[in-house]
Amino acid sequence: MKKRDLVKKEYNKKIKQLNFYNKKYFDHNISEISDADFDNIKKEIIKLENDYKFLKSKKSPSNIVGFKPSKNFKKVTHRVPMLSLANAFIKDDLINFEKKILNFLSKNRDFELSYSAEPKIDGISASLIYKNGEFKTGLSRGDGKEGEDITANLATIKDIPKKIKSNDFPEDIDIRGEVFIQNSDFENLKDKFANPRNAASGSLRQKNPDDTKKIPLKFIAYTFGYEKGLKAKNQSDFLKNLDDWGFKTNPLNKIIEGVDNLLINYSKVEKDRIKIDFDIDGIVYKINNLELQKRLGNVANSPRWAIAHKFASNKAISKILNIEIQIGRTGALTPVAKIKPINIGGVIVSNATLHNEDEIDRKDIRIGDIATIERAGDVIPHILSVDKLKRNKESTKFIFPKKCPSCGSKTIKEFNNTTKKEDAVRRCSSEGYDCEKIAIEKLKHFVSKEAFNIEGFGKKIVENFWNLNLIKLPQDIFNLDFKKIENLEGWGKQSMENLKYSINQRKNISLERLIYSLGIRHIGLENAKILSKYFKSFSKFISFSNEANLDDILNIDGIGETQLNSVKNFFGNKVNLKILKELQKILVVKDSINKNKNGILNEKTFMVTGKLNGISRAEVKSLIEENSGSSVSTVTQKLNYLILGEKPTKKKVDKAKELKVTILNQSQFLKMLNITS
């Protein structure tokens, strides 16, 4: 495959991802990923377009705003498009933003620009059309060019004036703003919606306005689209007019000059976010002078005169309300902080992991403390630190349980022979399925995507079926009482048949996925692959239960004493042996077949560091395996080639040079596979 084709494939994949998340966000009111992750996909697409001029798509973020309007509402064309905003994350972004404005206006650097700094509410954009002072039509953003007619639903919001009698109100104008729900009001709705933004979006798009009326929606106005007869020279004048006309505006709006002053205000607002009763995810800076705004105009789908300075999407401050213990499938006891719900990167976070007992002691984390919570990408939110200066007498130390909260078994810290210390993690000493919480987590793992991947059999269903005594062990999944399921609340004949079909489809499985699905501690996907190649068949795996044979596993490359002991413990449990025998009767397990050893990368090991151009790591790994090579995750003497991408990890490069590992760039690697770039 040529480099051009690889680049195009990666580009189309990202466009498809963006379109999927856009549809979920704008059409189904679901935030599948954080704002930061969504912004990163957009950045990657635009970078690819800049690097490779042959890339083009109508669905590119450089061409679209939002998502096409829903079919449930009449479509109406915006008289002036509702544009999106470019984003700033660091000081340099703001400096460059100002520099571009000055260059465009042919002004010197000492020309003072005045900005209207307006906190960016995380809600739903709406455009209100007023003619002769009367509210006539209300539209959603839609795709920026065309919106949904949601007039009847918007009319239920008390903050939206229906008739304005002021003499200076324009003859014809589109007033634009944000529909949102206050966090205090969301408390009564959190069982129905994932977060306040989803609640606002879902409420606005209901077919019956009487249903919308029951939701405590608010509206804050901040700009205008089409206008005829507007008398205002500055954005600040317009905001004052909005107040006079009866619209609510953001009380935190300010007029500021200079990038340094913008940053001071930004830090203050970000610090005070926890005190605000609605979610904000940044500050929008607009050139205050409306005449300059008009001169600057727009570029692509965003204005030149405005930018959104996003808050650090991975941190927020909240209060620890309680600390609870969760038990994983391997028996690990994980303390979880229940915090006052806070928006981090577009996601409402109410739980944060505390990792383990030692972490709580080291950071001196107590119930009632004010804490800094971090969430980065898909990483589970965790507590970075607590503000001890704000600690009061009500703060209480958390005592870690010496008995399992689920089954009452003793909790233990195992001795690690490698570190010669006790493990930081405390575990339930109960084995396998004897502990209820462990059993439920093991069943969740069994049906998960990388294990049996039973479609429609999610975590909530596992818990529900457990509580109804429908499943207790893995084999029960394949012997379900489907007639009983059909009559359960929320189910029916069709949904029951769909689940039955999904389960039957998974009765054929590879040996490596079956081994992984068993949830043996320390046996992940890669170790499951290694064991499947060694055992070759399910029958040999089952019969391999006496200790003499088990010790032979130590001779397998990639399996150490830790993995050996885990496998021994697994086979030493009678319930596990019973599960294996029952599954053998039900499943068709495909034998492990050794891959072709005649590929051009036979017996060669590879590792990637840094970001590759136009090809994902998963694709590289697949190419290596297809050509009989193998991928590793650490730099050791067994590594043959280190492939360097952009911004490689210096430590890995230095280690590779020390061990005299051959270092390749992306082009050299592709050349090995006869792929032309």
**Active-site residue numbers?**
120
Residue 472 tokens, joined? 């207790």
Cβ-based neighbour number of residue 237 at 10 Å: 14
**Residue of 180, 164, 145 whose CA lies nearest to 250:** 180
Give whole-number Cα distances, 423 to 123, 420, 561, in Å: 45, 9, 16
Dist. CA 175–CA 135, nearest whole Å: 10
Cβ-based neighbour number of residue 283 at 10 Å: 25
Let me know: does 582 contact 471? Beta carbons within 8 Å. Answer: no
Coil, helix or strand for 225?
Answer: strand
Please report the DSSP string for 561-593 in residue order.
HHHHHHHHHHHT-HHHHHHHHHHHHH-EEEPP-
Residue 589: partners with Cβ closer than 8 Å, 6 or more residues away? 509, 510, 511, 514, 537, 538
Strand partners, 611: 646
Task: Give Cα 327 to chain centroid, integer Å.
Answer: 23
Dist. CA 291–CA 230, nearest whole Å: 13
Dist. CA 130–CA 675, nearest whole Å: 61
Let me know: does 632 contact 638? Beta carbons within 8 Å. Answer: yes
Q: What are phi and psi of 138, to 5 degrees?
A: -125, 130
Element (H, E) at 322: strand 315-327
Please report the DSSP string for 129-195 in residue order.
EEETTEEEEEEE-TTSSEEEB-HHHHTT-TTS-SB---TTS-SEEEEEEEEE--HHHHTTTTTT-SS
The stretches of 30-166 forming alpha helices (DSSP H) are: 35-51, 91-105, 151-154
Give whole-number Cα distances, 479 to 178, 458, 463, 495, 645, in Å: 51, 17, 17, 17, 49
Dist. CA 121–CA 104, nearest whole Å: 29
In terms of DSSP bridges, do strands 347-353 and 588-590 run parallel, antiparallel, or are they unpaired? unpaired
**Residue of 306, 288, 307 whose CA lies nearest to 297:** 306
Let me know: does 371 contact 360? Beta carbons within 8 Å. Answer: no
Q: What are phi and psi of 384, to 5 degrees?
A: -80, -45
Cα torsion 37, 42, 46, 49 to 10°: value is 100
Dist. CA 427–CA 413, nearest whole Å: 6
